[in-house]
Amino acid sequence: MQCNAPIGVLDSGVGGLSVLKCLHQLLPHENFIYVGDTARTPYGCRSEKEIRSFVGEIIDWLALQGVKQVVIACNTLTMLGVESLRGKHEFSVVGMSKGEQLLLQASTKKKIGVFATQFTISTDAHRKAILAADPTAEVFPVACPKFVPLIEGEEFTNPKLMAAVKEYAAPLQEVGVDALILSCTHYPFIREQIAQVMGSGVTIVDPAEATSRLAKEALAAENLLQHEGVGRVTVCCTADEARVRRLTARMLSVEECSFVTIDLLAGEKL
């Protein structure tokens, strides 16, 4: 494997762009190929069988592009177990951090909220990870199925968005959490709205930076870090390229990115 090979980053849709932003900042010399399966998003309310078959197609497509690593910029997919997603490929596969250490540092009351997709919440993985690190903590997971369609639909000023934020925040406000993790990579797109509703007494935690550090460490361990040059960012989607470009502009400088609509099953190299 070559140092100048690209890093693959994937998500069901545009959410993983919030992780790509951190990765690009931390690893400015690296080339990135991002895949958002915008034709089939959201994944979070689908069955495990269906999600596995979709992610398998994306990883095989990234392998065809010669990536040296794949970052699963999606909590829902991470819940499937990154080792099982690697399949027959040899590159490292890095999943989303559960952020338990960040949360425990951020919370003095040890009352912690988790916002995530239905699928992620159904695994109970975040609650277990936080309790494994501190059994005295209290964890309040909330599934937020209305968020992803509103974010993918660019409904940032739709009153339905604020109504959904208030609905999901209510049980956390009732119990008085002082830290809240955004365990779906789409949610940083509405971080401001969530922070506004939760109020200044609640620290919002985004695990994207911790995940990016894990990706860097994995590359360093394999001697695969690129140390010079300006990295290229290619944003690939399976539908709605114009929409993806507009949403990318919320996270990255679009002048630095190229955009491509891809067919995951066509077996083509970029």
Question: Could you give the residue numbers annotated as active site?
Answer: 74, 184
Phi, psi of 243 (to 5 degrees): -65, -40
Contact 80, 23 (CB under 8 A): no
- In the beta sheet, which residues pair with residue 138? 111
Q: Sort residue 154 into left (φ over 0), alpha (ψ -120 to 50) or beta.
A: left
Q: Which of 92, 75, 78 is nearest to 5 (CA)?
A: 92
Query: Closer CB to ligand DGL, residue 96 or residue 172?
Result: 96
CB of 42: closest distance to ligand DGL in angstroms? 3
Contact 36, 238 (CB under 8 A): yes
Q: What is the DSSP string of 210-242?
A: HHHHHHHHHHHHTT----SSPPPEEEEESS-HH
- In the beta sheet, which residues pair with residue 141? 114
If DSSP codes are grouped into helix, strand and coil, which group holds residue 61?
helix
Q: Hunting for tokens 């699928």 — which residue is that? A: 119
CA distances from 157 to 10, 23, 33, 151, 162 (A): 27, 28, 30, 10, 8
Contact 54, 61 (CB under 8 A): no
CB of 96: closest distance to ligand DGL in angstroms? 7
CB of 120: closest distance to ligand DGL in angstroms? 6
Query: Closer CB to ligand DGL, residue 150 or residue 224?
Result: 150
CB of 11: closest distance to ligand DGL in angstroms? 5
Task: State the residue number with the nearest CB to ligand DGL.
Answer: 44
Query: Closer CB to ligand DGL, residue 34 or residue 226?
Result: 34
CB of 74: closest distance to ligand DGL in angstroms? 4
Query: Closer CB to ligand DGL, residue 15 or residue 99?
Result: 15
Give the residues lining the site for ligand DGL (CB under 6 A).
11-13, 15, 41-44, 74-76, 117, 120, 148, 184-186
Query: Closer CB to ligand DGL, residue 58 or residue 184?
Result: 184
- In the beta sheet, which residues pair with residue 35? 10, 236
CA distances from 220 to 3, 4, 68, 98, 170 (A): 10, 13, 12, 21, 43
Query: Closer CB to ligand DGL, residue 48 or residue 268?
Result: 48
CB of 228: closest distance to ligand DGL in angstroms? 32
